[in-house]
Structure 1
């Protein structure tokens, strides 16, 4: 029997399945690994008695592709893949990407723009009246009306634009099993109500959940006017305040003659649930159909290499950086796997014939977050109007790396393991808050592969406040301690900071501030991240509105925020951060002249 989930009609017949329960359509190629949603949710459904077929990166121009398994008994599950399809297909400067690491051979072009809309349209053409459920990051972050960078407009909920029956947001394990049970009972997808982590639509006000909050209507927030932008910021603020499963309330958004209804978020996975899902029988390989060369002559799926010898130890992030959408998708509550489960998976990894002795990562959105931010979150949820971290971290944050250190020590002690690296994000501010320096020492001593990549993001404290990041002074203190630990331990390991340019609040003056700091420290980055206004983040709300909804002034108005618009100013800011490149010198000179800082031309350009 094929050890992979079925990808063809013959696979179903080999399993004795004449009619499949679900067809999972994905914008990613099929890799049977827990880091890929189609595999994880497909295995979970299979473990609970449902049959699932995978339709990875179908030819969206051919309706027959969507008929290859026949009409599913319960419905189609549709995801754009691990990334929003527009982010996958275009750079921050709206240029087509040259590759897609989630595609066969890394070849771009196998995922359509606005994939959910395209896929659902073809499914509707293939089968009238079939249940269609959308989920994944594209659905999750576009679940209500949202700013769309690529069209520079506010678009409606993707549930309406795709014409799907039901939307699942968040990670989906709890939601999908509850929905599957209701579908098996014969309840149509468009009639399902009350499932946490879902969004549905109605024209009947009597269907609204009890205690629901009414958001501004699509008509009130969709126009490019100052008043509509204020209402957009109001709407975003309410949504961000209601992302937690414990204290979040249902939301209702009027759209034309209908209403989008968002149920509260699904509860976080327990450790036992998290463990059981990651212990499902994944092959941890790409499907053999990708062993043949793609159009570029390459085989396989490049994204697998990033996770093949890594361990996902946690989910969620209470850092809540303004430019990150994890708050809207995974939430601020931390979910963690047990040591036993992670050690079991690590032993499986070490048996892979390609394993060279190096576990590449042990982490999640933030590697050193392994428990709730504070003792209050379990009962009260994450605070609606207070940040855990940022330039003024909450005094209630529980800073403790003890359990993470114990886990890393156990992994280092496994036979066949030479080194355990940490490559997912380290919150250096959280690390610096820890009076016990054991983790800092062991991080430097055992878990760095020559370079430690961290994300100070900027040097302007004004901007760092908008980003909800720690102060520049704390980063400098961290850098000093890092250098000192390397000296004490006889290590020659470098610190590689990441910086963002053109973030809301950043003008040429702020970019010059970064350039001068880089000049002083002698570090000029090879890579600079252009701010990318993707759906679902506070920074994107600021980019569209020019307002910061998290800071209401004494007069009741939101704080105004400068926004760098247009490709040219973005290029000027980027050039300033990479002033050492000769090809950037004309742009650097132009930027300094525009900013009235001709005195710095000889300082930076020499």
Structure 2
């Protein structure tokens, strides 16, 4: 296929200024969207998706990216008052995760800003933007959405202020919150507004939340059950009540037919309507097939590359949702656990569009989703899924009702690689290797697992394949809702075998987390030993960061697991975190003396010998033949500490 040079005009993007609005001949704007990210007109960026979707339904939409909140607020005034509403999102990340490291240090860059410049959005951007708009235009509705708002819709622990915060509606002054992926609720909102229904009357739209003043009656919906949570004030007084709340929130977020949640806060109640069912393939295709330019707005041409765009510009998202339910992850809380998949035709259409980009060299960086290999997966009997409250379909075991057949995914991989303009399509998303060893799978499913693994490893690895075992301790992995590390050994053996058979020189890059709830120092020492024995020198590692609306964050704050209410140890101090993290880098000289000292204190000379097999350690080990028995006691002692 011969490439045709794309000649975009300024009008191909949604307008971002009064001058661009004027060039379109508009005398007013229906919806004005404010976002904490730069405006990238691409289906991977929420503001662009919402803007294009509203535009497709006949609305005049403008986007104000990264407005200046520190000057005279001219960015918030330059387009005036919209006919319908203001839309607000902090961007593709929670603004606090975007700004700060796990040690609460200010980051020096921002991947969603030209040239990676930091400081282009405020802390708690959703609240700041909404408050400014409500102060300037008190009578104009403000709709709040995006990941930050979605994950803060109920009482939540905020790691950066180290306190519980109320549901974001209490602080933001927004009129309505759209949580999760916003296409379905927004379409209903627009439909009702067009019929003359005012926004303050939109109280029964699924996947929205609103603040109900004391004395106001709860809107009726005969199809919904109501579930009253402990109030925000109750949670402030009792951490156990906060933990109990979370279990209800997570279970209802992942149910097909969920309850309406109600939580008291200050002088009112936050009402969270249940989510929509998963999007159909046709609905998802329609969202991805909108007329995106797939490029940053021309206003950034002289301002430098936008790192987040550079990372995904040649990638394709095949599906939404994740049923892994990992304790530290927020994907299911925002996208849901039920998978919504695009059609093969829509995916190949996007591949062909990417192939026509002038700087495309034939390599797709990713063909995946939140988890790479969940495309088209659903329950064999959907009626069972509709009654299910499990937060994970694959932990503590793979559900017998889950169809783990990988055939359709493998077919797409092969079809993409057969396109004339594609030299290779890599899988950059994380692969859930536990599904490839599903003991309850049918023979047909097992055959599909083998075929998928062969296709993946032989044709779709860019030299390094990312997988995320996260830890080696079964005790910690259970809390993480991750499979036993034994399965990683099994996957690596198959990976090495296929590489050897095909004469390939490829590596597995495992991801690990330190300081996760349940992880003790000796668990990290054991992680170092096990990965040392597998000849890994770890690179892709991170220190656990508590983020709103995860099991792990509840444990970090409350000290108990929200499902069992059992006390669970969590590293909290800076010293505890550093002592755990250093084991990931046992091979670096600056950590070795400290690691040796700690292992000697624990009398774990067996671990010392594994990590540093020198003459001194061999001598120490020979003098402590019973170190393993003693080490068990020392670990119990450490746990009490």
TM range, smaller chain: over 0.9
Deviation (angstroms), 1:338: 0.5
| Equivalence map 1:462-501=2 (5 Å) | 462-501=475-514
Between structure 1 and structure 2, the one with the greater Rg is 2
C-alpha contact 1:508 1:595 (8 A) present in aligned 2: no
The aligned counterpart of 1:140 is: 150
Q: Quote the residue 1:555 is aligned against.
A: none
Match of 2:340 in 1: 335
Partner residue, 1:301: 306
1:585/1:251 Cα in 2 relative to 1: closer, same or farther (>3 Å)?
A: same
Query: Which residue of structure 2 lines up, in the alignment, with residue 60 of structure 1?
Result: 69
- 2:375 pairs, out of 370, 374, 380, with 370
Partners of 1:25 and 1:587 lie apart in 2 by 49
* Cα distance in 1 between the residues matched to 2:600 and 2:321: 44
| Residues 514-523 or 578-587, more deviating | 578-587
- Note the C-alpha offset of 1:417: 0.7
Q: What is the TM-score with the length of structure 2 in the denominator?
A: 0.89
Q: Decide which of 212, 235, 244 is 1:221's aligned counterpart.
A: 235
Deviation track 1:573-598 (CA, whole Å, cap 9, x = no partner) reads 00011111112234424543554536
With 382-391 and 189-198 compared, the bigger mean Cα shift is at: 382-391
SS of residue paired to 2:566: strand
Any stretches of 5+ residues in structure 2 without a counterpart?
Answer: 1-9, 439-444, 615-641
- In structure 1, what is the equivalent of residue 406 of structure 2? 401
Bigger drift between 527-536 and 332-341 goes to 527-536
Q: Shift of the alpha carbon at 1:412?
A: 0.8
- Give the drift of 1:549: 2.1
Q: Could you tell me whether the CA contact under 8 Å between 1:312 and 1:364 is conserved in 2?
A: yes
Quote the residue 1:313 is aligned against. 318
Rate the CA distance shift 1:599–1:419 in 2: closer, same or farther, 3 A.
closer
> CA separation in 1, counterparts of 2:604 and 2:511?
25
Question: SS at the partner of 1:341?
Answer: helix
Q: How does 1:270-289 map to 2 (within 5 A)?
A: 270-289=280-299
1:12 aligns with 2:21: yes
CA distance in 1, matches of 2:459, 2:609: 42
**Per-residue deviation at 1:257?**
2.1
RMSD: 1.7
Whole-angstrom distance in 2 between the partners of 1:6 and 1:560: 53
Change in 2 beyond 3 A, CA 1:393/1:594: farther
Post-superposition Cα deviations, 1:500-525, rounded to whole Å, max 9, x if no partner, equal 11000001121111011122222120
Shift in Å at residue 142 of structure 1? 0.1
Q: Secondary structure of the equivalent of 1:154?
A: strand
Report if aligned partners of 1:131, 1:188 keep a CA contact under 8 Å in 2: no
Q: CA deviation at 1:362?
A: 1.0
1:97 aligns with 2:102: no
Aligned 1:151-166 pairs, distance under 5 A: 151-166=161-176
Whole-angstrom distance in 2 between the partners of 1:387 and 1:594: 39
2:514 and 2:524 in contact (8 A); partners too: yes
SS of the aligned residue for 2:40 comes to coil
What CA distance in whole angstroms lies between the structure 2 residues aligned with 1:595 and 1:242? 44
Match of 2:457 among 423, 444, 459: 444
Taking a change above 3 Å as real, the CA distance of residues 602 and 405 of structure 1, as seen in their structure-2 partners, is: closer
Distance 1:208 1:574 in 2: 50
1:353 Cα deviation from its structure 2 partner: 1.1
Shift of residue 399, structure 1, vs aligned partner: 1.5
Aligned counterparts, 1:401-420, within 5 A: 401-420=406-425
Residue aligning to 1:169: 179
Q: Does 1:356 align with 2:361?
A: yes
Alpha-carbon deviation of 1:9? Answer: 0.8
User: Normalising by the residue count of structure 1, what TM-score does the alignment of the two structures yield?
Assistant: 0.94
1:578 pairs, out of 572, 580, 585, with 585
Q: Does the Cα contact within 8 Å between 2:40 and 2:48 map onto a contact in 1?
A: yes
Gaps of 5+ in 1: 294-298, 553-557
- Aligned residue number for residue 460 of structure 1: 473
Q: Deviations over 1:174-221 (max 9, x none)?
A: 111212233344444333211111111112463155521000111111
Q: What does residue 296 of structure 1 align with?
A: none
